[in-house]
Structure 1
Amino acid sequence: MNIKYRKWMKEYGLIIIFFFVVVILSIASPVFRLPRNLLNVVKQASVNGILAIGMMVVIISGGIDLSMGSVVGFAGVCAALCGHPEQFPLIVPVLAALAAGCLIGLLNGIGVAYGDLPPFIITLGTMSIARGLALIFSKGIPVIKLSPEFQAISTGTLFSIPYLSFYLILIVVAIGFVMNNTIFGRHTYSIGGNKEAAMVAGINVKSTLVAVYTLAGALAGVGGILMASRTNQGAPTMGVSYEMDAVTGVVIGGVSMSGGVGKWYGVLIGALFMAVIENGLTIFGVDPNWKQVVKGTIIIIAVLIDVKSKGRQN
């Protein structure tokens, strides 16, 4: 019975805690439960959730991507440079940002798969490269005066629901489907669970890892598009520490930092959970610097729980 209870709590505990926190904040603050504030929570979770689902794929494969925040800034600048009124069709800034993200992601994948570089090292290097390119392309200042069509990508609504919400749901569900129902997803789980066994089983580990990091880069590119559209500028400093927010959402969502374990819906709840916590702290006037302390504490606790649960299983 105890084993069944632990298994049930591991599967659904986060969802229960999430709704418990939402109920407590709703009771404690009438402002929190206002529809416009709840929509703001979803907006806050959207970009982080998209980055977190990309980070999830990387971590499940047994790696880490520290470059995602910088890629958001680089992709946002690339989109903004092509997003001025009557300069190019809307598809051009979108493709420019996606190409920027895929390029950095591809470089990460090649470094990990063919260069045998530790993911921490190669993505630390590309983090600096992407940020430097963002500063070079923008000449160190935000790229402004973007077209109304580009701004509408993230500021528009459908039935009073922000487009950002639909982007988040569509991307998370799509990646969840890929991870659960395709050969690529199964191979990614296998590599993260045991890379050597995956190679023995005939899985093309190198090409899969390249695809994993390229996908993460593309999703960071999407994040850059949405942030540039939402803020109406391509700022080279945009996306600072976003990779840590993504990692936070991933570990809270139950993805094992040692690889091979994780579910897409857990990451979605993890991203929403962090948005709710941040929104609640803002409503109650907590010093913004303490938010970083809270995030760091949550990461440590989540990883500690993961390590302890693995120890019990062993």
Structure 2
Amino acid sequence: MSTTNPAPQHDSSTSEGTTPTVPAPRSADAAPETPETTEPATRQTPRETALQWFRALPGPLLGLILVVVVLSFLSPYFLTERNLINIVSQNSDIGIMAVGAALVILIGGIDLSVGSTLALSLMTTAWLFKVHDVPFTVCVVAGLIVGALVGLLNGVLSTYGRIQPFVATLATMSAAAGLALYVTDGNPITDFPNWYNAVTSKEILGIPLQVFILIAVYVVAAFWLRFRPTGRALYAVGGNAEAARLSGINVTRTKIAVYVIAGLLAALAGNIVGSRLDSAQPTAGTADLLNVIAVVVIGGASLSGGSGGMLNTFIGLLIIGVLNNGMSLLNVSPNLQPVVIGIAIIVAVLTDRGTRSRLVHS
């Protein structure tokens, strides 16, 4: 029995009369093959680079630059050194309250009581000093404690009481304003110690001391939000409170702490006002609520929580201060100034949204 070797199988790709193509060897010094899909890199022109940087600027900063440029042409007194320092110093109390309001908005809440808290804490300080002859340092501390207690009440009502922050702080705003009037029957109190008045009258290197206090508050708040776990937790709570709780964050304690900080900062702003005026007015700060909320909103903070920062809030403060100062220099009617502030809020928010949209699609 003979065996036959199986016929060799040919590749189906080769047919009769054709021979397979064998690639020729490539020399070592030959240029490497370039894929057909590779496109030469394009280099940006200086104009395109500048435009890209311009688009990356925050909306509030663009608004501030625009307002400063316009007012510098409209008034020769606007860009003077003294006027620029006055813009910051005269709005230092609003700026300090805006830090607390921004922290509250960051966690998804809102605090309508900051102005009334300022008035109540300031009147408490003055009332203890003038009526009960308590040492003034103790009175200042007591006023700060009153501010913190109002914030604590706001936090407890909005967490354990499950009351909407808008409603809770609206109630404490009304109560604090009434107590500020009740303490002294609506009468102002004047004549404070010289060291207390020096907080706003003393200057260091030509800059009022209150400006340094304002900057210190913003620096501390910015450092806390950026570098401390408890500060970064505020973004998580404002973004999604339930997810933050599941990740181990004590949401209730965080919210209460933020409201306490807001009340404490409102009381600190009250001391700035009392030192500047050398008097305690029962209605001091109650008209500043619009400006405080405007600073935070113009600064780009989201009222739904989870978005915001101290740098943009400070820019928002400068925008409000520059607008108010510029309108005063231009003799704009005080009745029209709130209208301009309202327009500025809308323009700043729309500009910031447009900037974020461009960054997302770029």
Partner SS state of residue 33, structure 1: coil
Equivalent residue, structure 2, for 1:128: 174
2:329 to 283, 288, 292: 283
CA distance in 2, matches of 1:273, 1:161: 20
Q: Which runs of 5+ in 1 are unaligned?
A: none
- 8 A contact 1:256–1:306 mirrored in 2: no
Change in Cα spacing, 1:213 to 1:77, as seen in structure 2 (3 Å) is same
Deviations 1:154-175 (A, max 9, x none): 2221122101110110000001
Matched, 1:54 2:115: no
TM-score, with normalisation over the residues of structure 2? 0.80
Go from structure 1 to structure 2 and tell me whether the alpha carbon gap of 1:83 and 1:39 turns closer, same or farther (over 3 Å shift).
farther
Alpha-carbon distance in 2 for matches of 1:163, 1:189: 32
Judged with a 3 Å threshold, the aligned counterparts in structure 2 of structure 1 residues 66 and 306 are, in CA distance, closer, same or farther, namely farther
RMSD across aligned C-alpha pairs, in angstroms?
2.6
Deviations 1:25-51 (A, max 9, x none): 223212112222222111122111111
Asked whether the equivalents of residues 102 and 301 of structure 2 are also in contact (C-alpha less than 8 Å), the reply is yes
Matched residue pairs, number?
Answer: 313
2:274 maps to 228
Is residue 2:252 matched to residue 1:206?
A: yes
Q: Which amino acid is the alignment partner of residue 265 of structure 1?
A: L
Does the Cα contact within 8 Å between 1:79 and 1:94 map onto a contact in 2?
A: yes
Aligned to 1:164: 210
What is the CA–CA distance in structure 2 between the aligned matches of 1:55 and 1:196, rounded to whole Å? Answer: 22
| Mapped partners of 1:309, 1:200: distance in 2 | 33
Contact 1:86-1:147 within 8 A present in 2 as well: no
Percent identical pairs in the alignment equals 39
Rounded Cα–Cα distance in structure 2 between residues aligned with 1:93 and 1:189: 35
- TM-score normalised to structure 1 length: 0.91
Residues 166, 83 of structure 1: alpha-carbon distance in 2 compared, 3 angstrom cutoff? farther
Q: 1:141 to 1:205 in 2, by over 3 A?
A: same
The one of 199, 202, 213 equivalent to 1:153 is: 199
Q: Is the 8 A contact 2:58 2:352 kept in 1?
A: no
Offset at 1:292?
1.1
The alpha-carbon deviation at position 107 of structure 1 amounts to 0.2
Report the alpha carbon displacement of residue 257 of structure 1 after superposing the two structures with TM: 1.3
Are 1:108 and 1:126, in contact at CA under 8 Å, matched by a contact in 2?
yes
Q: Which runs of 5+ in 2 are unaligned?
A: 1-43
Q: Secondary structure at the match of 2:216?
A: helix
Higher mean C-alpha displacement, 222-231 vs 80-89: 80-89
Q: Which amino acid aligns with 1:284?
A: L
On the 8 A contact 1:60/1:262 being kept in 2, the answer is yes
Residue aligning to 1:257: 303
Provide Cα deviations, 1:234-291, integer angstroms capped at 9, x if missing partner. 1111112322211111111111111101111110111011100100000000010111
